[in-house]
Amino acid sequence: MKTVTLDVNGKVFCLDVPDGELLIETLRDRLGFLGTKYSCLEGDCGVCTVLADGKNVLSCLMLTVEAEGRKITTIEGLGQKDLHPIQQAFIDEGAVQCGFCTPGMILASKSLLDAHPSPTQDEVVHALDGNLCRCTGYVRIVNAVLSAARKMKKTP
């Protein structure tokens, strides 16, 4: 067991966790952040995506003890009452179908747009290569990211 201090969505949590606990377990089972889901537990589907210091990573492949010292952002941290432009763009562009991949996709998009505010379509496509979607065929998701990028440029 280790006592860890986690910074999740700007809030600080002090927890006792087993050394072998994965971040996805801590987020869902201890902290109640159910927006982050999982689908393969192998790093292939991207459904468990969270941001660590702004970069999208897979919470099923990160020990909670190693998440200490990093700023972790889950989908709840992006916006629930007031939506982030990326979340709004996903709604407006019809990029949400079953919704299981959606939190991960949105966070992966945020990671991209924070580093590259004006990505090309190709850059968006490659930035999302770690997030599977079986419903949409990705078309509207990519459109949503490009639309969000345009809107975010207009309102700095």
Partner 1 sequence: MPILKDFRYHAPVGVDEALALLHKSKKPLLLGGGTFVLNTLKKTAAYPTDVIGLRKIASLHGIRDAAKEVTIGSMTTLAEVASSPVVGEHFASLAGAAACVATTPLRHMATIGGNVASRFFWVDLPSVLMALGAKVAWAGDKAKKTLSVEDFLSLTGPEARGIVTEVLLPKSGLTGVYFRHTQTMEVDLPLVAMAFAARRQAGGVKDVRCIVNTTLSRPVRLTGVASYFETKKVTEWKADEAADVLRRDLEQGKLDDYRLHCLCADLESLIDKFKKA
Partner 2 sequence: MKTTSPVGKSVPRIDARQKVAGEATYVFDLKLPGMLVGKMLRSPHAHARIVKIDTSKAEKLPGVRAVVTAEDTPKIKFGSNEFFFPYTVDQFPLEFEKVRYIGDEVAAVAAIDEETAQKALSLIDVHYEILPAVFSSVEAMKPGAPAIHTAMNNIGVMMPTCFGDPDRALKESDYVREDVFYLQSAAHAALEPHVSIGQYELSTDRITLWSSTQAPFKIREAMAKTLKMQEADVRVIKLNVGGGFGGKLEMFPMDFCACLLSKKSGGLPVKMMCNREEVFSFTRRKHPMIYKLKSGVKKDGTVTAITGEVIADGGAYCSYGPTVIAAAIMRFMMVYKFKNIRLFGSRVYTNNPISGAIRGFGGVQSGFAIESHMDMLARGIGMDPVEFRLKNATDPNMTTVNKMILSSNGLKDCIRKAAEISGWKEKYGVKKETAPGVFRGIGIGIAADVMGSKMYKSHESAGSIIKVEEDGSVYLFTGAADTGQGSDTAMAQIAAHELGVAYERVRIKAADTEITPFDTGSFASRVTFISGNATKNAATDAKRQILEVVAQELKLDIQGLDIKDEQVVARESGRALLSFDQAVILCYSFNYGRLIIGRGNYNPKTTPVDFRTGEGNISGSYGFEAQIAEVEVNTKTGQVKVLKMYDVHDIGYPINPASVHGQIEGSIVMGLGYTLYEDLKFKEGRVVNPLFSKYRIPRSTEMIPIESVFIETNDPQGPFGAKGMGEASLLPTAAAIANAIHDAVGIQIKDLPITPQKILAALKDNENKT
Q: Rule CB under 8 A: is residue 27 a binding residue for partner 2? A: no
CB atoms within 10 A of CB 146: 20
Name the minimum Å distance from CB 14 to partner 2. Answer: 23
Task: Kindly tell me which of 115 and 139 has the beta carbon lying closer to partner 2.
Answer: 139
Residue 58 host element (H or E): strand 55-58
74 makes contact with partner 1 (CB under 8 A) = no
Which of 16, 34, 61, 120 is in the footprint of partner 1 by CB under 8 A? 61
Whether 27 and 33 have beta carbons less than 8 Å apart is answered as yes
Interaction residues for partner 1, span 79-108 (CB under 8 A): 108
Span of 14-22, 61-69, 86-94, 111-119 interacting with partner 2 by CB under 8 A: 86-94
Q: Which does 65 bind (CB under 5 to 8 A by kind): partner 2, partner 1, none?
A: partner 1
Determine the Cα angle at 128 with ends 11 and 111, to 5°: 35
Sheet holding 11-17, edge to edge: 11-17, 2-8, 71-73, 49-52, 55-58
Q: Cα dist. 61→26, 37, 41, 80, 141 in Å?
A: 12, 13, 8, 26, 25
109 binds, among partner 2, partner 1, none (CB under 5 to 8 A by kind): none
Contact positions vs partner 2 (CB under 8 A): 28, 33-37, 39-42, 44-45, 47, 74-76, 79-80, 83, 87-88, 90-94, 96-103, 106, 124-126, 128-129, 131-142
